[in-house]
């Protein structure tokens, strides 16, 4: 159990049978009445955001999440098969659990799979991935009026805005959190 006075951004709590991550919180001490904590919580499983008010000092159960490093093996119909790196157990994940990871997914990629009460609930890709550009317009010399960028399709199917000097066949590093081009690989 954790007190609402100890809330921090990113802390996970258990509420109504689900795991919620604290996005924002504010301790409020009105002139009249008792203090309370106004918080914005994000459901770790679904991504839904709610606002909830707690009494100051109220105890809530802490959400214990287990992050395991797993390797993506292959797609089996609608499911994605991953293997635990430590004990070689294989599990299947669906599209909802994979969420935004799909646009960066390559075979043999190491992923962080988040478990709650022994069940996988979400997948976190590595912060940076190295991908090959498979389709982009050729850069025209002197064309910087458009801000010096152009869209490029990478091997996973995602579209990334890249500088004009990037060509088909180049390997680039992409930040999976923002989808932004970082550098040539």
Give the model confidence (pLDDT) of 131-172 as tens digits.
999 998 886 666 555 567 889 999 988 999 988 888 899 999
Give CA–CA dist 149/159, Å, rounded: 12
Q: Report the candidate in 160, 106, 108, 110 with the shortest Cα–Cα distance to residue 134.
A: 160
CA 58 to CA 93: how far, in whole Å?
Answer: 36
In angstroms, the CA 130 to CA 182 distance is 10
Give the pLDDT confidence of 99-128 residue by residue, as tens digits: 778 888 888 999 999 888 888 888 888 999
Same domain as 133, residue 170: yes
Question: In sequence order, what are the residues at sequence separation of 6 or more whose Cβ sits closer than 8 angstroms to the Cβ of residue 31?
Answer: none
Q: What average pLDDT score do residues 22-34 get?
A: 90
Residue 81 confidence class, pLDDT cut points 50, 70, 90: very high
pLDDT digits (tens, 9 = 90+) for 38-78: 999 988 877 789 999 999 889 999 988 888 999 999 988 88
- 148 with 161, same domain: the answer is yes
140 and 110 in a common domain:
no
Full DSSP string of 15-50: ETTEEEEEEEEEEE--SSS--EEEEEEEETTT--EE
Supply the range of the domain harboring residue 174: 128-184
pLDDT confidence of residue 32: 86
For the full predicted model, state whether its pTM sits above 0.75: no
Query: Which of 60, 78, 103 lies at the terminal end of a domain, its last residue?
Result: 60
């Amino acid at each position: 159990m954790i007190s609402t006075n100890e809330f921090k951004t990113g802390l996970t709590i258990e509420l109504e049978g689900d795991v919620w991550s604290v996005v924002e919180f504010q301790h409020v001490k009105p002139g009249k009445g008792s203090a309370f904590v106004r918080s914005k919580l994000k459901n770790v499983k679904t991504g839904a955001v709610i606002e909830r008010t707690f009494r100051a000092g109220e105890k809530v159960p802490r959400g214990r999440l287990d992050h395991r490093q797993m390797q993506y093996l292959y797609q089996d119909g609608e499911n994605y098969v991953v293997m635990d790196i430590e004990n070689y157990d294989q599990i299947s994940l669906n599209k909802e659990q994979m969420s935004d990871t799909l646009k960066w997914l390559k075979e043999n990629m190491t992923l962080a799979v988040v478990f709650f009460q022994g069940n996988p609930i979400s997948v976190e890709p590595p912060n940076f991935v190295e991908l090959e550009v498979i389709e982009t317009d050729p850069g025209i010399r002197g064309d910087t009026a458009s801000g010096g960028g152009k869209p490029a399709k990478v091997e996973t199917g995602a579209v990334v805005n890249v500088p004009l000097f990037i060509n088909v066949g180049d390997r680039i590093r992409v930040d999976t959190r923002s989808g932004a081009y970082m550098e040539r690989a």
